[in-house]
Structure 1
Amino acid sequence: MPHCVFMHKADSIYDDIPAERYQFPAMYLSRAEPCIGDWIVYLEPRKVTNSRGYFAVAKVEKIIPDPTAPGMFLALIEPGTYLDFVNPVPFSGPEGPIERGVLNEAGAISGRARAAVRPPLRADFARIVNAKVSGDHQSDGEAQGAGDRVLPAASQVPVVASPVPRV
């Protein structure tokens, strides 16, 4: 099952409560549905002043039509799975974007980075969840030592078997 990045900001027009639900328009349904039963990572948009970057993970329990808003859906978060990162992971690190799947063929950030729901590449998801508490970022390796982990090592969080093709 693939993971997803869900973009969220505190003053969103959507009815989001990250620990409980993520509301999104129907245009993202085909991207979100494969994430049912899997982990997602929350990202605060770069355009937000002092953006936290990637700030939490959660597991999507199910997706339902929003009963209060036609054309909208709710990704319901499995109770007890929402975890704030001790130190958020910035969108970009010393080597560029942590989520390299948002780069185009020329190595520039593509329009894909603006998608509110998107599947990251397997290595990107591992890089995000394995960022050290100190704020350092590792490549594709696992965090060293239990005190350094934001979450369990990537090997303990199910990931897709192969990269998700770019959309």
Structure 2
Amino acid sequence: MSAIKYKAVVCLLLELDRPLSDLYWTNISSTDFPFGVVVEHTNCFDDEKYNGKKVIYFSKYLNTDQELYHFSEEHLLNSFLPYITKINPKFETSWIRDIKAFRDEYAQPIMKTNYLNILPDFQTPIKNLYLGTIAQIYPEDRGLNYSVRLGNRIANHIIYD
């Protein structure tokens, strides 16, 4: 497992009292922005499930030694605000009801040439201990459906082998 390198992620989650936009997913290709994607989760689901709250997250893949990875929630928000207003110039901080920041050091495996040679098997040297991680869904990209498929594969192995 140590042969696999990962990108970390930092996510800023905002609960707003109104939508930021009418879009669900927005990729940001500008390297000037401190985030690479905006996902307005509640644009895909009925308001009644969220009691009218609007849930939006801003995400950035990076290395753990980058300064942004260590920012507090408030510092992240202050860094992101000028760019959030580029997405919606009418946005005001008074719309914010709650804020949370999340980080994961192992968010995305870096799949280099010959990745299959270092791909870990789901069987471990420890009897009855199996491994199922995002690093093992190669050649597919991240996706819940691929995680479920991997889980089914491991479960079938346990049941039938």
Which one has a bigger Cα radius of gyration? Answer: 2
Q: Does TM-score exceed 0.5, indicating one fold? A: no
TM bin, normalised by shorter chain, reads: under 0.3
Q: Select the structure that is richer in helix.
A: 2
- Select the structure with the greater relative contact order (CA < 8 A; seq sep ≥ 6): 2
